[in-house]
């Protein structure tokens, strides 16, 4: 029952918010997300004490195809649910310092998105999972389309069709699995226990991989991403980069690895190579980006590339590292985009070049921004390092040369991040009469919480290990 409540709370608020107006909408959204966060905290406690029993919920359809809605919970799901419901209040709060047109629709869609994301993370049957997976696409499409910037029609269409094409392949894969798996079921546990013949796993792997690779995105399926991140309103970008992209990496661990283990092993080398190439490729591109949000978008591709490389090593350290890094990257990238948003709002420029001097006027903002930049370049004692260390080590365990190549990310990451920070924040102000108000209360709060998370997880990541270790034990030899 608890798992249904996880879905119902955001859904209820989503409906309620639709009928409110302006300032009330965003206040209601904040209340809703905070209630959801509190409930998630409660769930976390319950989960630690009682395991997945209180979350188990199965709804069997009466009609012929043997389809079920099966909600449950394990450590990985819990981690992702925590991430989602932790970030949502921050994302809502980030919008408090500015006016949003049609705020009721905006926040209603956002809460609907929250429900869909929760649904993706707690679904334990491919049917419900697929429905939520697609459901999550709808609100973000409208958010990007209605509140987006330049070229939004073309960009959102590209994004929509890209992901939809991937999802369609995934659907084929699931239908095939349903038809030809021994049990005629799409339940995760059943599928896991009765894997399909390993001769067919190869191409089912590719079907599912296509969907996940587009969502993550792994190079070369990434070209929708920079433009979408740039065009979408920043809160939408936060949702996309902070959480939605984790749907892909999460699904690698939840679906791809356990359901088609042989296919996974068969194509491991291709997937790792693609991921690692993506890491370096995106990092190199980020160096010369002129648009702040696009730079961050490419840096995000580099980071998630490393996460997926870690998953594809199929090693304990790789999976563990990828989980830590998913959480950390979610937190950091939301912070980064928030900072980018603050800069763009106050200066009116989205270019890396030509701003400068912010630190002189707004030192507090510059300080928090630097903290997040440091976490993003994986400085030890920040959350970024924990994951990156483990991921690089897992790649090392797979292949030494590949790890050298992937390791370039720590150099290139520093290059593009510090270049951006220097041009935007340091130096003398280059814009005429630049006004740059230092942080407002809501911005301070958001960045403060992100800062605390960065250091807390960087110094003591043990809670994540504790939460996820039992699951990983069952996933890896």
Partner 1 sequence: MEQFIQPINLIGPSLLVPLLPLLGFILLIFFGKQLKTLGPWIASLLVLGSFVLSVYIFSSLGNENNLDYDLFTWLRWGDVSLNFGILIDPLSLIMLLVVTGIGFLIHLYSIGYMHHDEGFVRFFAYLNLFIFFMLLLVMGNSYLVMFIGWEGVGLCSYLLIGFWFTNDAYNDAAKKAFIMNRIGDLGFLLGMFFMLFYLGGLDYATVLGNASTMEKGAPILIAITLLMFVGAMGKSAQIPLYTWLPDAMAGPTPVSALIHAATMVTAGIYMIVRSNILYSLAPFTLEIVMWVGVATSLFAAIIGIKQNDIKKVLAYSTVSQLGLMFAALGLGAYTSGMFHVVTHAFFKALLFLGAGSVIHAMGGEQDMRRMGGLWKYIRLTAITFLIGTLAISGIFPFAGFFSKDEILAAAFHHKIVWVLLSVSSMITAFYMFRLFFLTFFTTFRGTEEEKHHLHESPWTMTLPLAVLALFAIGAGFLGMPSVMHMPHWFNGFLAPVVETSKTILGESHHVDHSTEIMLMLVATALAISSIIFAYVVYLNRKSIPEQDEETKGFAKWVSNKFYIDELYDRVIVKPIMVLSDIFHVVVDKLIIDLFVNASAWMVGFTGRTLRLVQTGNTGFYIFVMVIAMMVLLLIQLVQ
Nearest to partner 1 of 353, 437 (CB atom): 353
Q: What is the nearest approach in angstroms of partner 1 to the Cβ of residue 87?
A: 24
Among the listed residues 338, 334, 355, the one whose alpha carbon sits nearest the alpha carbon of residue 421: 355
Nearest to partner 1 of 157, 197 (CB atom): 157
Residue at token pair 């209180």: 54
**DSSP label of 218:** P
Nearest to partner 1 of 120, 378 (CB atom): 378
Nearest to partner 1 of 95, 321 (CB atom): 321
DSSP 115-157: HHHHHHHHB-BHHHHHHHHHHHHHHHHHHHHHH--TTHHHHHH
Nearest to partner 1 of 68, 252 (CB atom): 252
Q: What is the nearest approach in angstroms of partner 1 to the Cβ of residue 463?
A: 12
User: Helices marked H in 288-382 — which ranges?
Assistant: 292-312, 316-347, 358-361, 363-376
Q: What is the nearest approach in angstroms of partner 1 to the Cβ of residue 387?
A: 10
Nearest to partner 1 of 54, 397 (CB atom): 397
Q: What is the nearest approach in angstroms of partner 1 to the Cβ of residue 114?
A: 30
Q: What is the nearest approach in angstroms of partner 1 to the Cβ of residue 325?
A: 12
Rounded to an integer, what distance in angstroms lies between the CA atom of residue 351 and that of residue 59? 51
Among the listed residues 215, 5, 17, the one whose alpha carbon sits nearest the alpha carbon of residue 112: 17
Query: Phi/psi at 194 (nearest 5 deg)?
Result: -120, 75
Nearest to partner 1 of 203, 465 (CB atom): 465
Residues 6+ apart with CB under 8 A from 273: 402
Nearest to partner 1 of 1, 404 (CB atom): 404
Q: What is the nearest approach in angstroms of partner 1 to the Cβ of residue 42?
A: 27
Rounded to an integer, what distance in angstroms lies between the CA atom of residue 239 and that of residue 243? 6
Q: What is the nearest approach in angstroms of partner 1 to the Cβ of residue 151?
A: 14
- Number of Cβ atoms within 10 Å of the Cβ of 284: 15
- Number of Cβ atoms within 10 Å of the Cβ of 51: 14
Q: What is the nearest approach in angstroms of partner 1 to the Cβ of residue 474?
A: 13
Nearest to partner 1 of 186, 280 (CB atom): 280
The CA distances from residue 433 to 354, 357, 361, in Å, are 13, 11, 12
Rounded to the nearest 5 percent, the helix, strand and coil shares of the chain are 80, 5, 20
Rounded to an integer, what distance in angstroms lies between the CA atom of residue 330 and that of residue 91? 12
Nearest to partner 1 of 61, 288 (CB atom): 288
Site residues for partner 1 per CB under 8 A: 158, 161-162, 220, 222-224, 281, 284-289, 316-317, 320-321, 357, 359-360, 367, 374, 379-381, 385-386, 389-390, 392-393, 396-397, 403-404, 407-408, 410-411, 414-415, 418-419, 422, 426-428, 459-462, 465, 472
Q: What is the nearest approach in angstroms of partner 1 to the Cβ of residue 452?
A: 13
Q: What is the nearest approach in angstroms of partner 1 to the Cβ of residue 255?
A: 22
Among the listed residues 20, 21, 111, 128, the one whose alpha carbon sits nearest the alpha carbon of residue 72: 128
- Number of Cβ atoms within 10 Å of the Cβ of 426: 15
Nearest to partner 1 of 96, 393 (CB atom): 393
Nearest to partner 1 of 65, 380 (CB atom): 380
46: part of which helix (H) or strand (E)?
A: helix 22-50
Rounded to an integer, what distance in angstroms lies between the CA atom of residue 109 and that of residue 142? 8
Q: What is the nearest approach in angstroms of partner 1 to the Cβ of residue 465?
A: 6
DSSP 179-205: HHSTT---BHHHHHHSPPPHHHHHHHH
Give the three-state DSSP class for 291: strand
Q: What is the nearest approach in angstroms of partner 1 to the Cβ of residue 257?
A: 16
């Amino acid at each position: 029952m608890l798992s249904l409540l996880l879905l119902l709370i955001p859904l209820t608020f989503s409906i309620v918010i639709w009928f409110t107006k302006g300032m009330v909408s965003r206040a209601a959204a904040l209340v809703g997300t905070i209630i959801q966060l509190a409930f998630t905290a409660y769930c976390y406690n319950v989960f630690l004490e009682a395991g997945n029993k209180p979350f188990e919920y199965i709804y069997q359809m009466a009609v012929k195809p043997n389809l079920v809605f099966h909600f449950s919970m394990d450590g990985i799901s819990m981690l992702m649910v925590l991430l989602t419901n932790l970030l949502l209040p921050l994302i809502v709060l980030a919008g408090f310092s500015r006016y949003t047109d049609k705020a009721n629709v905006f926040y209603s869609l956002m809460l609907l998105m929250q429900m869909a994301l929760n649904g993706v993370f707690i679904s334990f049957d491919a049917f419900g999972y697929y429905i939520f997976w697609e459901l999550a696409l709808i609100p973000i499409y409208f958010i990007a389309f209605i509140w987006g910037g330049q070229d939004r029609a073309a960009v959102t269409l590209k994004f929509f069709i890209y992901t939809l094409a991937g999802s369609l392949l995934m659907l084929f894969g699931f239908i095939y699995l349903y038809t030809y798996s021994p049990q005629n079921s799409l339940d995760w546990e059943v599928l896991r226990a009765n894997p399909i013949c390993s001769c067919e796993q190869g191409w089912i792997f590719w079907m599912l991989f296509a969907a996940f690779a587009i969502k993550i995105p792994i190079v070369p399926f990434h070209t929708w991403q920079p433009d979408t991140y740039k065009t979408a309103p920043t809160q939408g970008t936060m949702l996309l980069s902070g959480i939605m992209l984790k749907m892909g990496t999460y699904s690698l661990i939840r679906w791809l690895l356990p359901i088609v283990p042989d296919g996974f092993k068969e194509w491991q080398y291709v997937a790792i190579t693609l991921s690692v190439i993506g890491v370096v490729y995106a990092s190199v591109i980020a160096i010369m980006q002129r648009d702040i949000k696009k730079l961050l978008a490419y840096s995000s591709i580099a980071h998630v590339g490393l996460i997926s490389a870690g998953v594809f090593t199929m090693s304990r350290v790789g999976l563990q590292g990828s989980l830590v890094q998913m959480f950390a990257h979610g937190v950091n990238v939301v912070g980064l985009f928030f900072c980018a948003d603050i800069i763009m709002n106050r200066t009116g420029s989205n270019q890396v070049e030509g701003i400068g001097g912010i630190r002189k006027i707004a030192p507090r903002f510059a300080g928090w921004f630097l903290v997040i930049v440091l976490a993003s370049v994986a400085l030890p004692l920040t959350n970024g390092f924990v994951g990156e260390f483990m991921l690089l080590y897992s790649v090392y365990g797979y292949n030494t040369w590949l790890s050298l190549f992937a390791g370039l990310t720590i150099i290139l990451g520093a290059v593009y991040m510090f270049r951006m920070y220097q041009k935007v924040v340091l130096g003398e102000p280059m814009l005429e009469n630049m006004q740059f108000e230092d942080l407002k209360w809501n911005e301070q709060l958001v960045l403060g919480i992100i800062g605390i998370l960065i250091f807390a997880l960087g110094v003591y990541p043990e809670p994540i290990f504790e939460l996820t270790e039992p699951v990983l034990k069952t996933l890896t030899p």
